[in-house]
Amino acid sequence: MGDSEITIARNYHVGAAGRLVMDTLPLTGAYTTYAVQETSPALPDYVTDSAASGTGWATGFKTSNGRISTIAGSTGVSPLTTILELAQRAGLRTGNVTTAELTDATPAVLNAHVNERACQGPANMAGCAVYKKEVGGPGSIAEQTIDHHVDVLLGGGRQRFAQTITGGPHAGKTVIQSAELQGYNLVYDEVGLSAALAGKRLLGLFNNGNMTLEWTGAQAAPFPGSGPQVCTEGQRELLTNEPSLAEMTTKALELLEGDDDRDGRPGFFLQVEGASIDKQDHVENPCQQIGETIAFDEAINVGLEFAKRHPQTLIIVTADHAHTSQIVPVVSASEAFPRPGFLSTLFTHDGAKMTVNYATRAHLQSQDHTGAQVRIAAQGPQAANVAGVTDQTDLFRTMARALGLMR
């Protein structure tokens, strides 16, 4: 969700002079997102993936692409302590919410440590032999996520948790069965989520893979591109029983809030990811990318409404990296020379045409992340630390101070 993705969603949904909810946070800065190569000395890797960038803000340390809260270059089990782990140790409640699989990189960096992001379930451990439970390791991302006893876990990726554990005390059981034995309530749809009560840990697995997209529309295409088009909204609601990101955020806050303000207990840490902004950028689909950005914006609104009632809440809105999509001059089929890349033209809220271009890879070959700095916006205690130009790793310290974990 770089500046391009935010501006595309704003132009389309509320117009160029409109403002998204995320635009209303009072303090804004830019932050750098680069990863490091596994060279000595470590050189920058200017284009990060979500594993290295998530490790940066979750632990305060830079690592190399593909690593989940482990040190660049290490071959053994070498965890970096995460902000969620520090919060747990201090007695705070914790939550992790995403529209991706719960074992995908961004949620994983908070409650798992593994050398390779692909090691999502016990059957996916080819690249992570020393992490397997049967050799005394902590297991796959799914197993570690449950074993960490995070209070609220909501997202997709049921396929990973349905896999069978191959070592340790729960060998032969699925990760879901292990979760039940460790005090989790399981929910699988919107109705189950809204009925879930406080008092037990909650694991919501709403899709086998990534959660269903909110909007649909035509993919970008070679010159002169697809469109002009208007996006089709309301797909998730029409086709599925999955909750929205805003609904997941509402429930997570309800369960994590407890009665903190009245009994003086120390609060909570919650991560909420709108994951498919990135995933739809990769597949050159502007409508689906915009729909996910708006769904994330609605989740931010839930957070801001909560903060009105709890003004001691720090809210941070940021991205893990910039991406491909660019707003380019409106394309015309009569242009003398074809444009590079893949294009789609949309009719925006303004009634104007906007052409979006994707051109970091060949068509349908998964467009790339890019290396530009991204926005970080905030409100609440310690929010002023996001102003100016900072690095992704600085966010770890900002959050740690706001939670009272670092002075």
Question: Closest approach of Cβ 366 to Zn ion, in Å?
Answer: 8
Among the residue ranges 2-10, 168-176, 216-224, 276-284, the one whose residues contact Zn ion (CB under 5 A):
276-284
Least Å distance, CB 364 to Zn ion, is 15
Report, in Å, the least distance between residue 400 CB and Zn ion: 27
Q: Minimum Å distance from CB 102 to Zn ion?
A: 17
Opening angle at CA 44, ends 38 and 48, nearest 5: 90
Q: Which residues inside 297-356 make contact with Zn ion, applying CB under 5 A?
A: none
Footprint of Zn ion on residues 139-158 (CB under 5 A)?
none
| Pick 392 or 398: Cβ nearer Zn ion | 392
Contact at 8 Å (CB) between 127 and 119?
Answer: yes
Amino acid at 386: V
Looking at residues 353 to 372 of the shown chain, list those that interact with Zn ion (rule: CB under 5 A).
none
b/e 291-322 (16+ beta carbons within 10 angstroms → b) = bbbbbbbbbbbbbbebbeeeeebbbbbbbbbb
Measure CA of the first residue to CA of the last residue in the chain; give whole Å: 31
Task: Single out the catalytic residue among 4, 40, 50, 344.
Answer: 50
- Of 296, 399, 374, the residue nearest 48 (C-alpha): 374
What's the CA gap between 30 and 161, in Å, rounded? 36
| Piece of the chain touching Zn ion by CB under 5 A; list 159-167, 246-254, 278-286, 382-390 | 278-286
Q: Select the residue whose beta carbon is closest to Zn ion and give its number.
A: 278
| Helices 245-257, 286-309: crossing angle, 10 deg rounding | 20
- Residue 364 main-chain phi, psi, to 5 deg: 65, 20
Tell me the window of 261-269, 273-281, 350-358, 393-401 that interacts with Zn ion (CB under 5 A).
273-281
Stretch that binds Zn ion, among 80-88, 141-149, 207-215, 274-282 (CB under 5 A): 274-282
- Does 140 qualify as catalytic in the annotation? no
| Minimum distance, C-beta of residue 278 to Zn ion, in the bound complex (Å) | 4
Distance, CA of 308 to CA of 184 (rounded, Å): 30
Among positions 147, 278, 284, 320, the unique one binding Zn ion when judged by CB under 5 A: 278
Q: Which of residues 95-124 bind Zn ion (CB under 5 A)?
A: none
Residue 171 has φ and ψ, to the nearest 5°, of -55, 135
Catalytic residues: 50
Judged by the rule CB under 5 A, the positions of this chain that interact with Zn ion are 278
